[in-house]
Amino acid sequence: MTVRNAGRRARLTGVGCTRFGQIPGSSWLSLHADAAREALEDAGLGKADLDGIICAYSLVEPHLMPSSVVAEYLGLRPTWSAALMLGGATGCAAVMQAALVVESGRCRHVLVVAGDNRLTGMSRDGAVAALAQVGHPQSSWTSTRVTA
């Protein structure tokens, strides 16, 4: 079955965004969570409505499975998840991937989480070194944004 034959049309239903700059007491995970909650509220959805999640890799606090970390932090139980790392285009590619997953019928509601705030974590050099330790290639920074 092709995406077109699935009969579903994906659409952006909610957006959330955190503040930018130095935000004392925040982390990459708390920023993702704040933006995700705002996106869910904007979409009129609850956590139980989500059946998919896509997360961009974080250069601030690298994890091998950021989608799992964010889902666990938010108390989500998605049936489908993915992580992407494409440099400056990661957020755009994640939204495109979410649309394909919805249009194929695999998921109904996919949360997309992308962005980093280096001011709340380690330096860029420290982040790149941490990525190298867990086997990730270096990539560029993206702005903080979340869509659902």
79 located within any domain: yes
- The H or E element spanning position 32 is helix 28-43
Give the tens place of pLDDT for each residue, 7-35: 678 888 888 888 777 777 777 788 888 88
Q: What is the CATH number of the domain that holds 88?
A: 3.40.47.10
7 located within any domain: no
Beta strands in the chain (DSSP E): 15-16, 52-56, 80-84, 110-114, 145-147
Domain extent for 105: 12-147
Angle between helix 66-74 and 28-43 (nearest 10): 60
* pTM (two decimals): 0.71
Give the tens place of pLDDT for each residue, 45-99: 999 999 999 988 776 666 778 888 889 999 999 999 988 777 667 778 888 888 9
Q: Is 53 helix (H, G, I), strand (E, B) or coil?
A: strand
How many domains does one find in the chain? 1
1 located within any domain: no
- The token pair at 130 is 């941490």
56 located within any domain: yes
2 located within any domain: no
3 located within any domain: no
6 located within any domain: no
